[in-house]
Amino acid sequence: MLRTLWSLSLLAAVAVGGPAMAEDGEWTALFDGKTLEGWVQKNGTATYRIEGDTIVGKTNEGSPNSFLCTEKDYGDFELEFEVKVDDRLNSGVQIRSQTKGGPTGRVNGPQVEIESGPAEAGYVYGEATGRGWLTPEERLIPHDHFKNGEWNHYRIKAVGPRIQTWINGEAIEDLTDEAIYETHPSGFIGLQVHGIKKGTGPYEVAWRNIRIRPIKK
């Protein structure tokens, strides 16, 4: 009788998503609003500073792409943040990224595009992977879901080879790429300040409310 009751309880828990099922992790803030603890800069000489409740990246003429990266790696996760960027600056957020040739090597991996519109914001680029856009060319359709000069809310979900993105609640990309998952199943999160042409800038990009939670498969 006791075994029967236990079996029924287990079935009920599974049916409602109770303790018998793996649960996704809790949300964790990646930026405490006060310090850059847990972050390290890789590549480039752009500057990153804290201003109020934001991380502000500023271009440096002649610098290659710069990245402020989490010291911790992440595999399957959901990431949210708000971003505002100068209309003349291209930027992005690296996910599951790595460095070639050791800790100080070239940052590479999937990058979710940040760009004033109409443009390709929210699509996925293969930073320094040799592949260019990971989003198929036929889906690279410029859109205006990114609000120029305003704060924009991004949501990124990466589970296995599937990467999904949303901007301001609008679904942008749903990419399944086995090849990039094979080489980049996990890695750091990186805030990019793109390099700029000589005689241009300085430009800035700002992030706030950056949080992440692990996802159980």
Q: pLDDT for 182-200, tens place per residue? A: 999 999 999 999 999 888 8
Categorize the per-residue pLDDT at 148 as very low, low, confident or very high, splitting at 50, 70 and 90: very high
Instruction: Report the C-alpha gap between 97 and 200 in whole angstroms.
Output: 28
Instruction: Report the C-alpha gap between 27 and 191 in whole angstroms.
Output: 19
Decide if 13 is inside a domain. no
Decide if 1 is inside a domain. no
Buried b (16+ CB within 10 A) or exposed e, 16-42: eeeeeeeeeeeeeebbeeeeeeebebb
Distances (CA, A) of 161 to 18, 41, 100, 112, 175: 27, 27, 21, 15, 8
Categorize the per-residue pLDDT at 24 as very low, low, confident or very high, splitting at 50, 70 and 90: confident
Helix (H) or strand (E) holding 15: helix 2-15
Which residues, including other chains, have CB under 8 Å from residue 178's CB and lie 6 or more apart? 161
Which residues, including other chains, have CB under 8 Å from residue 30's CB and lie 6 or more apart? 38, 39, 70, 189, 210, 211, 212
Categorize the per-residue pLDDT at 85 as very low, low, confident or very high, splitting at 50, 70 and 90: very high
Instruction: Report the C-alpha gap between 27 and 43 in whole angstroms.
Output: 29
Q: Domain of 84?
A: 25-214
Classify residue 136 by burial, with Cβ atoms within 10 Å: 0-12, 13-18, 19+: exposed
Here the CATH number for the domain that contains residue 170 is 2.60.120.560
**What dihedral do alpha carbons 47, 48, 50, 52 form, nearest 10°?**
90
Decide if 135 is inside a domain. yes
The predicted structure's pLDDT at residue 199:
87
pLDDT of residue 1 exceeding 80: no
Decide if 207 is inside a domain. yes
Decide if 121 is inside a domain. yes
Decide if 134 is inside a domain. yes
Decide if 18 is inside a domain. no
Q: How many domains does the chain have?
A: 1
pLDDT of residue 13 exceeding 90: no
Q: Give the pair of three-digit tokens for residue 143.
A: 């859109």
Categorize the per-residue pLDDT at 217 as very low, low, confident or very high, splitting at 50, 70 and 90: confident
Q: Which amino acid is at 158?
A: A
